[in-house]
Structure 1
Amino acid sequence: MDITQALLVAAAGVVAGVVNAMAGGGSLLTVSLLTVVGDLGGLVANGTNRIGVMTQNLASAAGYRSEGVSGLRRAVPVLAPALIGSAIGAYTVSGLLSDTAFEQTFGILMVPLLILSLWPPKARGDEIAWPRALTIAVFFVIGAYGGAFQAGVGLLLVLALSHAGLDLVNANATKAVVIAVLTVVAAPVFIWNDQVHWGFAVIVAAGFAVGGWLGARWAVRGGEKLIRPVLAAAVLGLAGRMLGLY
């Protein structure tokens, strides 16, 4: 890893941290960059990115809290099913998929994520209103996706939480807590399987933390709409890259 690679990864981490804190999908940028600039295989890029995602969401949760918005209480009802799903998803992708299969699957999944990024969630209130059974089922599936692929899980969480009754600020604050916990559970699976490049992990984590803190504060102040066009472009670009269209 040379200085140019390090600077590119750090800068991408900052941008991705802001995007993740304000909407979701920032990992689409960092995973892609780690596979191209870092010359990492898909699974190692995925595992390396988890370290950055963990620091970003801890920083984002702190940033939201500093602005008077805490997602901890609202995260409690969805944590158990999401955690179980995350552990299953991480084990499945880390132990059973090859790099090629991972990248092809990841590319295919970018198409619905692009649609989600263009479909703004409806803002409502500050409480989850879904029935318990529906909440468990939805967040188990999202947890499984997050454990397996991570990138784009923030979009899924914001969409689900907003339709469950939360406005966008509370949905993002809650999302930060949920993803932080999911990553703490999923990351050891990738570490155990030697699928983390620690040099890149430290650099991307630092960038993620800075971006996550800033993005959380900007989100509370109404900046999410500025991110959506960039996010849609990133999803589309990565889908093409992973599917081998260019």
Structure 2
Amino acid sequence: MFEVSLDVAAMLVAAAFAAGFVDSIAGGGGLITLPVLLLAGASPLEALSTNKVQGAFGAATAAVSYAARGHVDLRRQIRAAGLAFVAGLCGALLVARIPTEGLRLALPVILIAIAGFFAFKKGLDDTDRAERIRPASFTAFVVPLIGFYDGLVGPGAGAFYMIGFVSLAGYGVLKATAHTKLLNFASNMGGLVAFAAVGAPWWITGLAMGLAQMAGARLGARLAMRVGAKVIKPLLVVTSTALAVRLIWQMI
């Protein structure tokens, strides 16, 4: 039934649950699932494809959970989500045509900078601040840029959406987290469409992981809404730093 043995499938499902929990709060769930998929014997293309399958479940669950509690109006994000989807699709289609080595080298530095921003920036809490960019401009320029990156490379996209909402849109930490999830889902789905067309996702394993992602995401979103910035900030610092360390380790 599964594309892997039952014990390996159980490991992947457990990893997906943990990833859903972490990703619903601070992003970075791919830090957990991608290495485990590769460890399970998936090729890089299969791992990326399957990761998109299971990741979509977690992002969608988190988005709905935050919306149900009134932290985000999903209908007002439809246009931005549409742009994120198209950008993610384009990024994934151009994976083989655009050199990404320079971006991969810069990514650890960017992620460490994000971790430092949330670790040392004073006054970051759940209170909204003055916006530095108009909502229309944010949707037109920032969202497609991050969505394209999500399809092209992937790791850290949730953190990039998050810091964009905090530093440019002026959102509080919890509100930024809530608004990140639908966009993350949309660009993830765009990438999935492209990878499904040219790759070979492990559909059964991916769907099983997706169910575990849903459970983890629901639990993580509940915790984030209960505690807010007190849990989101430190977890974001940890996941961004861990992802940077993993990328540096791969380069050595």
Which range, TM-score by smaller chain? 0.7 to 0.9
Task: Give SS of 1:227's match.
Answer: helix
Cα distance in 2 for residues equivalent to 1:45 and 1:144: 19
Q: Deviations over 1:162-183 (max 9, x none)?
A: 1111111111111111122222
Percent sequence identity is: 23
Q: What's the CA shift string for 1:126-182, capped at 9, x where partnerless?
A: 896623335422222101101222321100000001111111111111111112222
Question: What are the equivalent positions in structure 2 for 1:42-57 lying under 5 Å apart?
Answer: 42-57=44-59
Q: 1:156 to 1:86 in 2, by over 3 A?
A: same
Q: 2: distance between equivalents of 1:161 and 1:217?
A: 21
2:145 alignment partner AA = V
What CA distance in whole angstroms lies between the structure 2 residues aligned with 1:67 and 1:127?
Answer: 24
Letter in 1 for 2:170: G
Distance 1:22 1:180 in 2: 14
What amino acid does structure 2 have at the position aligned with 1:209?
Answer: M
Matched, 1:140 2:138: no
Query: Cα–Cα, structure 1 residues 87 and 155, in superposed 2: closer, same or farther, change >3 Å?
Result: same
Equivalent position of 2:211 in the other structure = 206
Query: Unmatched 5+ residue regions in structure 1?
Result: none
Which of residues 181, 186, 191 is equivalent to 1:181? 186
TM alignment of 1:73-92, pairs within 5 A? 73=75, 75-76=77-78, 78-92=80-94
Q: 1:153 maps to what in 2?
A: 157
**Structure 2: which 5+ runs fail to align?**
none
Alpha-carbon shift at residue 241 of structure 1 (Å): 4.2
* TM-score normalised by length of structure 2: 0.82
CA contact (8 A) 2:17 2:215 kept: yes
1:34 and 2:42 correspond: no
Across the aligned residues of Structure 1 and Structure 2, the Cα RMSD in angstroms comes to 2.7
Q: In the TM superposition, what is the alpha-carbon distance from 1:2 to its structure 2 partner?
A: 2.1
Map of 1:227 onto structure 2:
235
Aligned length, in residue pairs: 239
Q: Report what 1:119 is aligned to.
A: 117
